[in-house]
Homo-oligomer: A and B are copies of this chain.
């Protein structure tokens, strides 16, 4: 960087961009805010200048002048604490600099749902982010729609038209994991399904069946157990899978909590993981590295998804304020297969 003296606090302001583009600061501002009433020509020039100068809007300045900061609600029902913690980390990281206010409301059951929703609406939130499993509640989304409040659905397995969403491709993530197990040499692979009312659970299970079939492998009834995404349900499911004669050499659990339970059950039976049994999870929540052996799992970038949810929400709010329809953008984030200690070739 050249050693010349800084004239102001911030290196590049919107004034610099305007000057560089040869337009007024107002026009530059309008372009930065996606305001429609700007000619294509100017829009392009400003965008180019902003990029060339690496302009970053000063959010303090913006929020100082703009009448109000965005108020974003996060409405959740019963996700795992670990998941929600990570998600909120992303939400707060992104909302902090933008000056947006975050209101978190929990609900369990229909009645408390009504109460929570009422509180959010009364606080006149500008938008509501719906982490799973509420992301799939038609009723919740319709209520919000009726109140003209934009929604961002997080980690839904079935994105809806006109409702913005962030997610990973659960189907392909699960396929990747099954293919990995296959490549390791496993043939008898067990599946612990997740709560069937959560759309990603369905996708992960379907990926299992499809990939096994594509490999020319049948799936025995005894090798599939229904779970509910909780540790406790994983305990029961793992017992079912491991008690039989022809027990699987690998178990694909639809999330980490149930995988952790599976390892606990296996240890209880004197089974070595991964020597006697490979166990893999999904999500890569903190429990994956808490337990021993550390879990091979599919990493879902939960923090990044929290950030993305806020960005999408801010965009929805702007659109609404300008009378434009919701973008209905569906952002698909990258999953990664994380190979740790709980997987190995079959005995």
Contacts and interface: CB of A to CB of B under 8 A. Distances in A.
Interface string A91-119: 01101110100000000000000000000
Contacts of A286: 80-82, 85, 286
A232 interface: yes
A63 B99 CA distance: 12
A235 B291 CA distance: 10
A88 interface: yes
A93 B64 CA distance: 19
A9 interface: yes
A68 B9 contact: yes
A89 B264 CA distance: 30
Interface in A206-237: 230-232, 235
Interface in A223-258: 230-232, 235, 257
A34 B231 CA distance: 51
A81 B283 CA distance: 14
A23 interface: no
Contacts of A334: none
Given A60-B64, A64-B60, A231 B292 contact: yes
A287 interface: yes
Nearest to A81: B286
Nearest to A8: B67
Contacts of A85: 82, 85-86, 89, 286
A58 interface: yes
Contact of A96 (B95, B230, B265): B95
A323 interface: no
A268 interface: yes
A56 interface: no
Interface string A267-303: 1111000000000000000110111100000000000
Interface of A: 9, 58-61, 63-64, 67-68, 80-82, 85-86, 88-89, 92-93, 95-97, 99, 230-232, 235, 257, 260-261, 264-265, 267-270, 286-287, 289-292
15 contacts: A58-B64, A59-B60, A61-B64, A80-B286, A81-B290, A82-B287, A82-B290, A88-B89, A92-B96, A97-B99, A231-B290, A235-B267, A268-B268, A268-B269, A287-B287
